[in-house]
Amino acid sequence: MRQSGRDTEPTIACEEETLHVIKRITLALAFFAIASATSHAADESADRTPTTIRFAAAPPVAGELVLGVYTDGKLGPVGTAINKQSGGALSGAISALEFGAESSETRLIAAPAESGYTRILLVGLGDKAETKPALQWREIGGNAVQAAVGAFDTAPPMAFDAPPVHTADLAYGAKLGSYHFDKYISDEERRKSQSALLLVTEQANEIQERYQETLDPVANAIWYARDTSNEPGNVIYPASFVATWKDHFKNLDGVKIRVHDEQDLLAKGMGAFYGVGQGSSRPPRMMVVEYFGGDKGDAPVVIFGKGITFDSGGISIKPSNRMWNMKFDMSGAASTMGALYALAGRHAGVNAVGIAALAENLPGGSAQRPGDIVSTMSGKRIEVRNTDAEGRLVLADALHYGDITYDPALLVDVATLTGSARRALGSNYAALYAPRATDARVHSSGRNVRRQGMENAAGRRSLQGHREQGSRCGEYRGGWTRPEH
């Protein structure tokens, strides 16, 4: 276990700076554009159980059906059976529509009279000869469910003539596509919950087992993380965040949870972390989840999540018109807990630790002020010039704690850390701060991620000049930079 030497010299630093409190921050992500939730109060007992996925070798012959179609018009086993039963009426109807069957394209038709069905939702699968990545099959599954809910209110059985290796991906996408957060919408306005989805495949038993072991735990983890992020600040705050995720983890093997309260933070010298939450009547917490599924002695991956359960900006208060959506400022912590849930749920052969840095940033009578100087666990001191730049403070202490406690092989920081990233990249991209060596792995995920950084000498000098003045911070427009490795 590495120990960090304390810096006894007072260091005055702008809190807008990315703090150098550990030696090896090799990867950092910023997630933005979490889907917004509705706000009218209603029944809080609404079922929030994730949708169940089932597989069957054949669909029930009644009601509606979702049917996959390739661009060449060829039908899979279910479609072929319907076409035969209807004397070719199905293929004739598809041809008459001039349905292109491009990937995720949909069209609702009346089912042939002899088919046993009433309506069929056609879903385009693209070119059958084209090798599609897993992500594309997942998108098709998600789009199919959303189109089916729009057409039928409840998604009917879905029959896709997909390669067996990707049928589980279709199911994964379908489950995530069925997600919605309307817990507080009145019953008459609430969308009908998709309690279960049925996918038709000739290899039902084999694919059911594969899906349950590998993808369903990940889908559940994302579901729970979305729910936590969508809840309002009066429902999710540091203590209730901990209770919520303890409940999620309770049925998973190999998970150990430690919770550090405000007194523990003070005892550890985490003044930066504690200071962010000291203005709230709901004190801060640090939730540490350990999962050691890899070889004994292997250094773990440690994932950190920013968990500001509501960020008013503190004394440096935010404008009121968009403050309501700062309930999402704990999405990094929710994602971190979701990652640990997914790893433990699929019994991954890796050692991992998740650390959620949880605080509520409010302008109470005991709140920290602009100009306050706080001490970090590393021994460095920070001058807080803007209390609305609080994320770096909670992460500074959490990162240092994780670094010296676990001597990790890799550190990952997930945070809604700065609006500068959204202003630069828009709502659909996450900003990545990492060595170039990680580019290939990140892009292979298929996600919208852009690596950022300060690579040239001029950029580095823009910070160096401020260091010489003692404040160690860039101007506002330059406050979104990558630390040196």
Q: What is the pLDDT of residues 131-152, one digit of tens each?
A: 999 999 999 999 999 999 999 9
User: Would you say residue 485 has pLDDT above 80?
Assistant: no
Mean per-residue pLDDT, 277-292: 98
Residue 270 main-chain phi, psi, to 5 deg: -85, 65
Give 409's DSSP letter.
Answer: S
Mean per-residue pLDDT, 410-424: 88
User: Would you say residue 332 has pLDDT above 70?
Assistant: yes
Contact 214, 168 (CB under 8 A): yes
Instruction: Identify the pLDDT of residue 153.
Output: 81
Instruction: Identify the pLDDT of residue 190.
Output: 67
Instruction: Identify the pLDDT of residue 40.
Output: 30
- In whole angstroms, what is the distance from residue 436 CA to residue 128 CA? 35
Contact 451, 439 (CB under 8 A): yes
- In whole angstroms, what is the distance from residue 260 CA to residue 269 CA? 13
Q: Which of 396, 372, 358 is nearest to 17 (CA)?
A: 396
Instruction: Identify the pLDDT of residue 264.
Output: 99
- The answer for residues whose C-beta is within 8 angstroms of residue 118's C-beta and 6 or more apart is 63, 64, 110, 111
- Residue 318 known to be catalytic: yes
Instruction: Identify the pLDDT of residue 154.
Output: 86
Q: What is the pLDDT of residues 248-281, one digit of tens each?
A: 999 999 999 999 999 999 999 999 999 999 999 9
Sign of the alpha-carbon dihedral angle for 311, 312, 313, 314: negative
Confidence band, pLDDT 50/70/90 cuts, at residue 420: confident
Q: What is the pLDDT of residues 80-90, one digit of tens each?
A: 999 999 999 99
User: Would you say residue 211 has pLDDT above 80?
Assistant: yes
Contacts of 365-369 with C-beta under 8 Å, sequence gap 24+, read 365/279, 366/278, 366/279, 367/278, 367/279, 367/314, 367/315, 368/275, 368/276, 368/278, 368/279, 368/314, 368/315, 369/315
Neighbours of 24 (CB within 10 A): 13
Greater confidence (446 vs 150) lies with 150
Mean per-residue pLDDT, 464-480: 45
Contact 242, 366 (CB under 8 A): no
Dihedral angle of Cα 112, 117, 119, 123, to the nearest 10 degrees: -90
C-alpha R_g of the chain? 25
Instruction: Identify the pLDDT of residue 450.
Output: 86
Q: Specify whether the backbone of 59 is left (phi greater than 0), alpha (psi in -120 to 50) or beta.
A: beta
- In whole angstroms, what is the distance from residue 168 CA to residue 134 CA? 9
- In whole angstroms, what is the distance from residue 447 CA to residue 176 CA? 15
Mean per-residue pLDDT, 431-459: 75
Confidence band, pLDDT 50/70/90 cuts, at residue 461: low
The model carries a pTM of 0.85
Confidence band, pLDDT 50/70/90 cuts, at residue 437: confident
Mean per-residue pLDDT, 187-198: 78
Sheet strands side by side (includes 106-110): 52-56, 196-200, 158-159, 64-69, 119-124, 106-110
User: Average pLDDT of the chain?
Assistant: 85
Q: Is 27 helix (H, G, I), strand (E, B) or coil?
A: strand
Confidence band, pLDDT 50/70/90 cuts, at residue 24: very low
- In whole angstroms, what is the distance from residue 379 CA to residue 358 CA? 21
The two tokens of residue 381 are 């001191």
Instruction: Identify the pLDDT of residue 418.
Output: 76
Instruction: Identify the pLDDT of residue 125.
Output: 96
Among 6-20, 87-101, 216-230, 420-434, where is mean pLDDT lowest?
Answer: 6-20
Confidence band, pLDDT 50/70/90 cuts, at residue 311: very high
Instruction: Identify the pLDDT of residue 395.
Output: 98
The two tokens of residue 253 are 């093997």
Greater confidence (4 vs 449) lies with 449
Q: Is 238 helix (H, G, I), strand (E, B) or coil?
A: helix
Greater confidence (246 vs 185) lies with 246
Instruction: Identify the pLDDT of residue 458.
Output: 59
User: Of residues 318, 346, 447, 451, which has the active-site annotation?
Assistant: 318
User: Would you say residue 443 has pLDDT above 80?
Assistant: no
- In whole angstroms, what is the distance from residue 379 CA to residue 391 CA? 18
Residue listed under structure tokens 């209603």:
42
Residue listed under structure tokens 């999620």:
248
Sign of the alpha-carbon dihedral angle for 146, 148, 152, 156: negative
Q: What is the pLDDT of residues 387-412, one digit of tens each?
A: 999 999 999 999 999 999 999 999 99
User: Would you say residue 347 has pLDDT above 70?
Assistant: yes
User: Would you say residue 363 has pLDDT above 50?
Assistant: yes
User: Would you say residue 44 has pLDDT above 80?
Assistant: no
- In whole angstroms, what is the distance from residue 380 CA to residue 460 CA? 22
Instruction: Identify the pLDDT of residue 417.
Output: 82
Q: Is 199 helix (H, G, I), strand (E, B) or coil?
A: strand
* Diameter of the chain measured on Cα atoms: 86
Residue listed under structure tokens 């000098």:
461
User: Would you say residue 444 has pLDDT above 80?
Assistant: no
User: Of residues 226, 327, 380, 392, which has the active-site annotation?
Assistant: 392
Instruction: Identify the pLDDT of residue 394.
Output: 98
Return the bridge partners of 285, or none: 358
Q: Which of 142, 213, 201, 195 is nearest to 172 (CA)?
A: 142
Which domains can be identified in the chain, with CATH numbers? 27-37+231-478 (3.40.630.10), 52-214 (3.40.220.10)
Mean per-residue pLDDT, 61-78: 93
User: Would you say residue 117 has pLDDT above 70?
Assistant: yes
Give 14's DSSP letter.
Answer: B
Instruction: Identify the pLDDT of residue 421.
Output: 84
- In whole angstroms, what is the distance from residue 362 CA to residue 316 CA? 10
